[in-house]
Structure 1
């Protein structure tokens, strides 16, 4: 007997309440796909859309629009999304109705970043690659896992005319293609600790012996976080965000979910030595921002704060602790290798995601926009 025809897939604007209800039904989703993130990014215009199969909701997305001056057409950006079933047999339909929806709204291009892994490198593989003088990048080392779903999604995007926004080091103006994650599913604190390298375990013991205390703060501690963050920016030569940005992030994310965001502080005596921002959506927890002072570095406050956040993520039911972006390098002479070594010590894994992809909806405007980005 033949199967009845399935209802067509449609897409429409949805309310914040509908969007949040969908996210609560998912095991996890990127915090960049929450309605709150649209309130954080005030320099973009945000909208929530939902996919429907008949009357049944089958996906949602936060879309950020950056409008071109004078022309009024926008780049429609879906960071680390959309939140759909990327393994759906109707994936092409889902993407086509999104394309048509945005084209009708005047977007000149669609940019998205499927939150699906394509490759994974375990800690032992990364250590071996760092020790190998010939291997200089992750994509030159044999991965431990090649994910069929990620491979299929990439092939589908190419077939639909999407363009991969590749970057030699794995970083773009948008979201990183390479991230470092510690799997938490089915693990205990003891198992997490035993999976770390000897240096991490020794430093954790050292922080406890030396009296470093880590606490969860609140909005009143953001000024302290920002002071350390500015010091870190000066030391590591990156452009810092203003305090108001973090205050807004904390306010809107806290309003959206009671345990969506936390600020952590590592203290010794009367000194705050490190501070971080932790975010969780469902079963996924992120180390989002970190800062530290150069004072008392021998006390390993950054190690203490990471260990506390990992344990808290585990206690909250997270299956992944995400240390966010890494560069595509395992070369000893790369300036980022110290950060890679620090993260590898957790016993986690490097994960390559599908990356960010553009679909031009107006080739003329997209070409002009691409040229502008190259020369600005």
Structure 2
């Protein structure tokens, strides 16, 4: 097994080696993350066939020729291989040759799954998702976590290390083997009523264009103020993402709008990579929430994901919270109405590269993050 830099066309052609890569691992994501340098890597077997890929984001230490590497939701390799060293050793060696002192990655395998009804039954004061017996334990994810520890990797959030940059708990609606009717029947009665209310009220859904991103961003700022969070993204970020992803593959990033009386009341983005679909960011107005513009918007996006042949409609992150008095539970409660499942990821893992200088720099980075 060897590893080397690969050009974008060949990288994109190897997009479905192990069930489809994350949108954070497509080649065009590098153009979105302009505050990072990047390179595309490929693992090749003895016949020179591409058998694995990775988008590596790189950030240089100030005033030093040392780099920190980050592989968000990657690499895209055979994580079921019991000998992970075959994949990770060439990666470490390549990064070491390019003056990387530490690397973080997010293995895609999952650990556990909980169905909506299981979590609904577990709701209670100070309750968390990880306190509820899961419906399914994924053996590959558990084996990957155990093997990474033996290879010197540390879980994000442990040993003073910064927590996960990507969501640890995902909400996913199963689509495989379903049609629109069975998908709709899986929605809660409240969700079905809200969709009917939107239709009766005359809410219309349409696909937006780049020119609609400003309206989306204003609604996003409204949503952030209302719910007390801040994503820290600018309008220029979303414009860059929309342009970069769609130039690489038309329709990869989509903007959906709910309008009522000619006014945009809700706007959500969806990302498509092959047969994988994600609901990425949602925003809505403070007024006319009674016409349920977000529910019909999500229903439209779920149906489109179904038509695209996706196995899951991934609604991205939720908090590890089942306490109805905690504001963080509100988003999960809303998503539970789709009849989907919560999936716990393996999480992000980090390690210093070999050598005393690299280990010292990594310890300094951990201390710096802790002070921040």
Scaled by the length of structure 1, the TM-score of the pair is 0.94
Alignment of 1:287-302 (within 5 A): 287-302=279-294
Q: Which residue of 1 aligns with 2:295?
A: 303
Matched, 1:53 2:45: yes
2:238 corresponds in structure 1 to 246
- Asked whether the 8 Å contact 1:92–1:156 carries over to 2, the reply is no
How do residues 86-101 of structure 1 correspond to structure 2 at under 5 angstroms? 86-101=79-94
Does the 8 Å contact 2:74/2:108 carry over to 1? yes
Find the residue that maps to 2:38 and give its secondary structure. strand
Instruction: Please state if 1:155 is matched with 2:146.
Output: yes
Q: Quick one: distance in 1 between partners of 2:19 and 2:209? A: 26
SS at match of 2:214: helix
Aligned-partner Cα distance in 1 for 2:10–2:212 = 32
Equivalent residue for 1:79?
72
Q: Is the 8 Å Cα contact of residues 164 and 347 (structure 2) preserved in structure 1?
A: no
Q: Deviation per CA, 1:89-140: give whole Å up to 9, x if none.
A: 442210111111111111111100011110000011100111x44x611111
What SS class does the counterpart of residue 62 from structure 1 fall into? strand
Contact 1:114/1:355 (CA < 8 Å) preserved in 2?
A: yes
Q: CA deviation at 1:24?
A: 5.2
Does residue 276 of structure 1 match 2:272? Answer: no
Task: Say whether residues 1:366 and 2:350 are aligned partners.
Answer: no
Write the distance in 2 (CA, Å) between the matches of 1:336 and 1:195. Answer: 24
Write the distance in 1 (CA, Å) between the matches of 2:114 and 2:207: 32
Deviation at 1:25, TM superposition (A): 5.4
Runs of 5+ unmatched residues, structure 1: 1-8
Secondary structure of the 2:28 match is helix
- Contact 2:15/2:21 (CA < 8 Å) preserved in 1? yes
Partner Cα separation in structure 1 for residue 187 and residue 84 of structure 2: 38
Give structure 2 stretches of 5+ with no counterpart.
none
Which string of whole-angstrom CA distances, capped at 9 and with x for unpartnered residues, describes residues 52-94 of structure 1?
A: 1121111000000111101221110000000111112442210
* TM-score, structure 2 normalization: 0.95
What is the RMSD computed on CA atoms of the aligned residues? 1.4
Output one character per residue of 1:335-373: Cα deviation in whole Å (capped at 9) or x when no partner.
111111100110000000000000111210000000000
Partner SS for 1:161: coil
Question: Matches of residues 105-254 of structure 1 in structure 2 within 5 Å?
Answer: 105-130=98-123, 132-133=124-125, 136-166=127-157, 172=163, 174-239=165-230, 240-254=232-246
Distance 2:228 2:19 in 1: 37
Moved over 3 A (4+): 24-27
Residue-pair matches, total: 363
CA distance in structure 2 between the partners assigned to 1:235 and 1:26 by the alignment: 40
